[in-house]
Structures are given as structure tokens and as C-alpha cells.
Amino acid sequence: MSQRKRIKAVIPAAGLGTRFLPATKAMPKEMLPVVDKPAIQYVVEEAVTAGIDDVLIILGRNKNNISNHFDAVPELESNLEKKGDLEKLDRVKKSSDLGDIHYLRQGEPKGLGHAVLRSRSHVGDTTFAVLLGDDLIDARDPLLDRMLDQNEATGLTVVALMEVSPEQIHMYGAAAVEPTDDPDIVKVTGLVEKPKKEDAPSNYAIIGRYVLTPGVFDILERTEPGKGGEIQLTDALQELAETDGVYGVIFRGRRYDTGDRADYIKAIVQLAVDRDDLGVELRPWLKDFAAGL
Ligand code: G1P
């Protein structure tokens, strides 16, 4: 674990998950399993791997099973122990030993900027990380660590950027950027939330990882509803880019958008074929299956 300054992570998990209805009718989309772990556990593990041990999850309505998931289940544990199923016991324990997890209800669903603002009293006057649950970053391709390094080196806000096709940019916050001496780091000069293809300043999309300086809270307090009538984090960051400055760390690794049904299925397949316990069986089957298409 890195020896960096201790910071907190905020994971907004209050979205409605309408793209996965009816699966998300009574279950939060963050609890959809990716192989055998709910999507949100990967995100919490990512924060913990980057050395963060204080995580605040912002919950919406109907999200209580997220907090149940990260809690210990003594009767299940003693049952597995009695049966001698230590492998499963280990997996169960891992999900409840992930550091200090706190929960806060968002209240009214007024957008991502509003959800982040709700974390103000928990976070205090310090730099913090925001991780969005729909974006799953492959643990083999580090990102958050690089963002924390850039923040430590400059003291400024850092967003994760990924190049997407012009056809996809309308689904993201898009950044206007200037190069730096490092090909993987850019200066962000402007940000637009979900622009039309022709209005996008570049094809660099914000993916759901942010290292934010606490000044963002004052800006969010006065950020008016923007795109979709919601208080947008991107709009607050646009103001930060014009004043203090914002950096972008370019991510070229494996990222899965588990909020999209096709990408969600791809994530499961990609992660499962690489696993020791599942890959041996799945790889040849997939080849045969694809050959028959
Ligand atoms: C949010 C942000 C957007 C960002 C995206 C990344 O949008 O508002 O700027 O590009 O996450 O996943 P959402 O996907 O929640 O609509």
C-alpha cells in the first residue's frame, strides 16, 4: 500500500439503473454481479488498493442491500467454517473487511454534483477521490494511483480522461485539453457535459474517476442545474479549470461501462476468461461458440 497522505473516497450510488429494468426494480444496479462480485465491490476494492481506507457511499432509495453487502454475516461465516469451505469463507469475509465504509442518503436525486456536495461534512476541507460505480477499471491497469500522484505533485484537481469515438462523446463530459511534457497527462482548459458531436471540444471523455480539491464544494453550492436539469459535477469542474486549474490523466487501459447492457456482458466475459478458476472452461467454449455464429 502506498505511503501517501490519507484521503477519503466518495462513491455516488444513487442512480436509478433504468437501463437494466426489470432487474433493477427492487435491486440497485450497483449490486448487479460481474462474475461473482457486485459491481460496486470492484470499485470499493479499487479505492482500497490505491491506499484509501475511508469510503463514503451516497445511497439513493431502495439501496439498502449495498450496506448489507459490505456488512459481516456471522451465521453465513460460521456455516461455511463448519463445512470447511475456506475458499468461500475467504471470499465472503473479503467483502466485509474492506476498510471503513460509511453511508449517506442523497435525499432528492438532483444530479451527480449534488451527490458529491452531500459528502461535504464527511470529507471536510481536504482533497478527496470520487469513483463512479458504472465505470469499472480493470485492476490490472492502474489509474487512481496515477491521479493521486498528479494531485500530490501539483495540489490541483485531476480527472480521468479516455479517448472515445466522436459518436460516443455525447454520453460523457468532454474536455478541451492542452498537452504537457508527459504524454499521459494533459492540462484541462474547459469541460462540457454531454455535448453534441459537433460541439465537443475533443474526443477526450471524462470517465468516472476524479481527485478533487475541497474548493469544489463552494462552487457546487452555487452551481445551477445544467444538462438534464441536474446539478452537474462537470459544470463545477469547468469553473475550477478556469480558476485554479485541472489536470487530466489519460487512461488507455481496460474500462467497462457496467451501466450499459452490452458492455456489462463484455465485462463479465473478459474478466471471467482471465480467471484461473473459470478461464480453462470458458476459453475453448467461447471459441467454439464464436465459430458457430
Ligand atoms: C457522469 C458524468 C459525466 C461522465 C460520466 C462517466 O455521467 O456526468 O461527465 O463522463 O459520468 O461515466 P452519467 O454517466 O452518470 O450520466
Instruction: Find out whether the beta carbon of 208 lies less than 6 Å from any atom of ligand 1.
Output: yes
Give the nearest ligand 1 atom to 206 CA.
10
pLDDT computed for residue 3 by the predictor? 62
Task: Give the predicted TM-score (pTM) of the model.
Answer: 0.93
pLDDT computed for residue 122 by the predictor? 97
Instruction: Find out whether the beta carbon of 235 lies less than 6 Å from any atom of ligand 1.
Output: no
Q: Tell me the average confidence (pLDDT) per consecutive run of 10 residues in the chain, 293 residues long.
A: 78 86 89 94 94 92 82 82 84 78 90 96 97 92 95 97 96 96 97 96 97 97 95 97 96 92 93 93 94 87
pLDDT computed for residue 258 by the predictor? 87
Instruction: Find out whether the beta carbon of 237 lies less than 6 Å from any atom of ligand 1.
Output: no
Distances in Å between the alpha carbon of 158 and those of 130, 215, 249? 11, 13, 7
pLDDT computed for residue 280 by the predictor? 95
Ranges of CATH 3.90.550.10 domains, the chain: 8-259
Does domain 8-259 fall into CATH 3.90.550.10?
yes
Which amino acid, one-letter code, is at 18?
T
237 CA distance to ligand 1 middle (Å): 13
Query: Could you give the angle at the alpha carbon of 34 between the alpha carbons of 62 and 232, nearest 5°?
Result: 55
